[in-house]
Structure 1
Amino acid sequence: MVGAAGALGLSRVARERPSGAAFGAPVVLVAAVAAGVAVASRSMLIGEDDYRTLVFVLLAGAPMAVVVGLVLARRVLRLEREAARERAERESALEVEQSRRETVRWLSHDLRTPLAGIRALAESLADGAVADPPAAHARIVHEVDRLDVMVDDIAELSRLHGPQPTSRAGRCALDDLVSDAVATVAPLAAAADVDVIAGDLAGVTVEVDPRAVTRAVTNVLRNALQHTPAGGRVIVTTQVRGGQVLVDVSDGCGGIATGDLERVFEPGWRGDESRHDRGMGLGLTIAREVARSHGGDAVATNRGDGTGCTVTLSLPAHRLTRS
């Protein structure tokens, strides 16, 4: 009866805590043996002094049962953790695969747009149906440049999503990286009639991959320029706060719905229908992945005055020194 009751209890415990059942199994076994000895002694009318056999069984078996139970429990607990980790990895891999399929779907759609334009212009040039061939040539070059940027973005995102992205970290002045990014987008800013202003700079030296961080800041600046109307301005600042160095890029987009602030970092997401004129929507995704590869992050918030939003790239304090 003791063994049966113990087995029933262990079966119930094993459903939620297999390690607890593994620990209890040897204990139940010893208890069942002790109960058997006690029943046998009583049935054979053995004197009370002979109950020393029962005490001996308990003293000899109980410690060993506890030891064996602990060993089994540790082993089962380790197996539980391994199984949970494998299950989490499978679920993560499934999510990544689903995301990858969706990404491939919209990437193929976006890549077809400039390809279709190039083909149409090339066929028109071959047929002599273009009134302004130099303009058509310029348009083809523009579309090829768009394709080049798209393919480069895809390659960069694939690298960052790899198991061990290659990194060339080194000590460099963060303000210099920001200045390089501002210089890169200067022609775009001039064409869009948007001022890019470098505000307060913290003057810090960080240990980062300069190429990757410059690209991340450049992507954020380009995104800000694309969503700031003509005559507006984009402000970039750096600061040290809460043990982190921050790069803040504020635009004049008019603000983003609170529920969409996190979605701006999703590959290909756009809040309007003009996505094809603004690239593939990988800029902020790459910027966040670069920040995270350095131990930081990227977040988007609305400005307090309601005129736009701010994208903040952060780097951890242990990579920061004063210049």
Structure 2
Amino acid sequence: MKDLLLIGLYALIAGGTIGALGVAALRLMRHRSILAHVAVLLAVTVVSVAAGVTAVAQAMFLSAHDLQVVLVTVAASAAVTLAVGVAFARRLAQAAVWADQARQRERQLEAGRRELVAWVSHDLRTPLAGLRAMAEALEDKIVDDPATVAEYHHRIRVETDRMTRLVDDLFELSRINAGALRPALSPVPLGDIVSDAIAATAPLAADRRVRVLAPETGWPTVRAAEAELARVVTNLLVNSVRYTPPDGTVRIDAGRDEKDVWLAVSDTCGGIPEADLPRLFDMAFRGERARTPAPAGDGGGLTGGGLGLAIVRGLVEAHGGRVHAHNVAEGCRFVVRLPAAPTS
């Protein structure tokens, strides 16, 4: 019993000394990564065991050969332990990075939802106040000349249509975020979709004196849901027309490579600040411009309260595609890539 107590004391002194040094090292590197902390912890554990075994072996007056055998065995075990521990520490550090990214993404989404609610509330409150004022004026017969009455009726209809589009966009975005959107895919001629989108955007483009250009032929066939694809193209066109100054140009073209069909909408808006590019497709993001509804006739509300590009991204990703934007010489370029329809 006395020998066992003495061996335990030797091991405790040797291991405790190394452990105290390890605690001091951990305190000094408390701001370092998880990987560094785990590596130090493993090293302290292994070295403590090695020191304790060495101290005990020497106290037992082992022969030089036996001592070497013991130390080689301890070193081999230490190497295996360190290798496994470092691999585990790397995975733990990567998991921590992923968790931190997920938390940051969740915070961004929550901030986006709060911003969305605030902006949509503003976009609804403003026209509702105008609608109420015009309705009261008509009801109280404050306005009774036919021309003004007709103008009030026209403005009421325009504002009602705008709010309807905004509500539709909110519903569409809620389906996308809930993962409830399941597009029925089929081969769709992209040229027909683009032609319809240009026709739908023509009044806004004419009002803003913006030219919309597109090739007459050479459009590929894409595998997509026709209604959702039409909304993607229309939202991109409306967005580019709205932000292109008068007498500017918006061009839409497309092509096909090995696996994908690409569609690009380019404009002459003058470019987008680099800091805004990563947020273009976030909910309710509209940069520094147009935080209030545009007046009737200016396309206000066609893409919702900053929801148009968010819907584009959601619809494109639901098709298994991707979308991005970058600056070009005179403006910016939005590029959508979707799976191509199989060729016969």
SS in 1 for 2:253: strand
Across the two proteins, how many residue pairs are aligned to each other?
A: 311
Q: Does 1:104 align with 2:123?
A: no
CA distance in 1, matches of 2:68, 2:280: 71
Tell me the equivalent position of 1:34.
53
SS in 2 for 1:207: strand
CA distance in 1, matches of 2:94, 2:273: 37
- Cα separation, partners in 2 of 1:310 and 1:19, compared to 1, 3 Å: same
Give CA deviations for 1:116-138 in whole Å, capped at 9, x if unaligned.
11111111111111233333222
- Cα separation, partners in 2 of 1:241 and 1:258, compared to 1, 3 Å: farther
Shift of 1:220: 1.5
**What root-mean-square deviation, in Å, do the aligned CA atoms of Structure 1 and Structure 2 show?**
3.5
The answer on whether the counterparts of 1:269 and 1:281 sit within 8 Å (CA) in structure 2 is yes
Q: Does 1:239 align with 2:255?
A: yes
Q: Does 1:86 align with 2:99?
A: yes
CA distance in 2, matches of 1:199, 1:161: 34
CA distance in 1, matches of 2:57, 2:228: 76
CA distance in 2, matches of 1:27, 1:70: 11
- Cα separation, partners in 2 of 1:237 and 1:298, compared to 1, 3 Å: same
Tell me the equivalent position of 2:240.
224
The answer on whether the counterparts of 2:208 and 2:246 sit within 8 Å (CA) in structure 1 is yes
CA distance in 1, matches of 2:291, 2:95: 47
- The farther-off stretch of 108-117 and 180-189 is 180-189
The answer on whether the counterparts of 2:272 and 2:327 sit within 8 Å (CA) in structure 1 is no
Give CA deviations for 1:79-123 in whole Å, capped at 9, x if unaligned.
433333222222221222122212221221111111111111111
Shift of 1:273: 5.1
Q: Of residues 285, 290, 293 in structure 2, which corresponds to 1:276? A: 293
1:1-323 alignment runs, 5 A limit: 2-4=14-16, 6-8=18-20, 10-11=22-23, 12=25, 15=30, 16=33, 17-41=36-60, 46=61, 50-131=63-144, 132-162=148-178, 165-189=181-205, 194-199=210-215, 201-228=217-244, 234-240=250-256, 245-251=261-267, 253=269, 255-256=270-271, 258-259=273-274, 262=277, 265=281, 267-272=284-289, 275-277=292-294, 278-279=300-301, 280-293=305-318, 294-302=320-328, 304=329, 306=330, 309-315=331-337, 319=340
SS in 2 for 1:80: helix
Q: Which has the higher contact order (CA 8 A, sep 6+)?
A: 2
SS in 2 for 1:276: coil
- The one-letter amino acid paired with 1:28 is V
CA distance in 1, matches of 2:95, 2:273: 39
Give CA deviations for 1:28-51 in whole Å, capped at 9, x if unaligned.
14311332134414xxxx4xx734
TM-score by length of 2: 0.74
The answer on whether the counterparts of 2:271 and 2:332 sit within 8 Å (CA) in structure 1 is no
The answer on whether the counterparts of 1:19 and 1:74 sit within 8 Å (CA) in structure 2 is no
TM-score by length of 1: 0.78
- After the TM superposition, which parts of structure 1 deviate over 6 Å for at least 4 consecutive aligned residues? none
SS in 1 for 2:293: helix
Tell me the equivalent position of 2:4.
none
Q: Structure 2: give runs of 5+ residues left out of the alignment.
A: 1-12, 295-299
